[in-house]
Amino acid sequence: MDKTIFIVCESGFVASAMGASILRKRLAAECLDLEVRFCRAKDLPEAAVYVAGPQKFLDQVDAPYRFAVETPLDAKAYDAVIKFMESKVNEHE
């Protein structure tokens, strides 16, 4: 199982960096050992599997699992990501 979640935005700095920090804290609170990275949508590695960010940027990426997060600075915005990743981790245990 790939253990990296990418947070994307337009610039790859402010919103995605802050969103990545929030998601890291949420994952740690749930005891999920996953890596969170951030980048511009157009710089997303081709091998990326899990990607979160505003829908307008998700439409630009080709990743198997995409999560729309319209308010990246709201910790609750990552609820769907957390729930999905918990199920993926449990599948592979």
Note the pLDDT tens digit of each residue in 29-66: 999 999 999 999 999 999 999 999 999 999 999 999 99
Residue 92 has what pLDDT?
79
Residue 54 has what pLDDT?
95
Segments making up each domain of the chain, as ranges = 4-91
Residue 93 has what pLDDT?
74
User: 4-91 adopts what CATH topology?
Assistant: Rossmann fold (3.40.50)
pLDDT band at 19 (very low <50, low <70, confident <90, very high): very high
State the Rg of the chain over Cα. Answer: 12
